[in-house]
């Protein structure tokens, strides 16, 4: 599933990567870095059977959700102000959505790590979303 999301992002980059940016991309790279870091650390948590690390990673998903919400608001504002950018803005929203879903999948992996280690399927992530 994460591969499908990565493929979707790649297709967007291929289609629109040579076009001028709508705005400086700050939050999307932050989302990508955070999701990638979460994935890397989830692999370590799995290898080390570290339930506490897995729980901590789950709780970081809210930061990715907050970045997605900020990107959504910013891009929606730009698209309302300039309808000529709606297509490119929509593709950027889709890329951000894919990053958010990757972080969600990492959270699912970490929940399974907690189960693997503890034998208990508890709600790991206490979310504001």
Burial of 45 (0-12, 13-18, 19+ CB in 10 A): buried
Domains of the chain in start order, with CATH, are 2-14+25-118 (1.20.58.220)
pLDDT of residue 88: 87
- Which positions ≥6 away from 9 have C-beta within 8 Å? 95, 98, 99
Convert the pLDDT of each residue in 82-122 to its tens digit. 999 898 889 899 999 999 999 999 999 999 999 999 998 87
Q: Is the pLDDT of residue 7 over 70?
A: yes
Token duo for residue 101: 């879903």
Contacts of 101 (CB under 8 A, 6+ apart): 1, 5
The pLDDT, as a whole number, for residue 65 is: 95
**pTM for the full predicted model:** 0.84
d(CA 80, CA 51): 45
pLDDT digits (tens, 9 = 90+) for 32-80: 999 999 999 999 999 999 999 999 999 999 999 999 999 999 999 999 9
Nearest to 70 by CA among 80, 78, 59: 78
126 — pLDDT class (breaks 50, 70, 90): low
Q: In Å, what is the CA distance from 58 to each residue of 35, 36, 74?
A: 11, 13, 26
- Quick one: pLDDT at residue 124? 66
Tokens 């608001």 sit on residue: 73
């Amino acid at each position: 599933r994460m591969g499908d999301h990565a493929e979707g992002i790649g297709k967007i980059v291929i289609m629109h990567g040579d076009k001028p940016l709508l705005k400086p991309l700050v939050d999307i790279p932050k989302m990508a870095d955070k999701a990638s870091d979460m994935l890397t650390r989830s692999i370590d948590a799995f290898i080390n059977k570290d339930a506490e690390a897995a729980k901590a990673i789950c709780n970081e998903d809210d930061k990715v959700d907050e970045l997605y919400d900020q990107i959504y608001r910013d891009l929606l504002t730009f698209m309302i102000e300039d309808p000529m950018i709606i297509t490119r803005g929509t593709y950027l929203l889709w890329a951000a959505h894919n990053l958010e879903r990757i972080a969600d999948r990492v959270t699912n992996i970490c929940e399974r790590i907690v189960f693997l280690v503890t034998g208990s399927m508890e709600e790991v992530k206490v979310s504001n979303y």
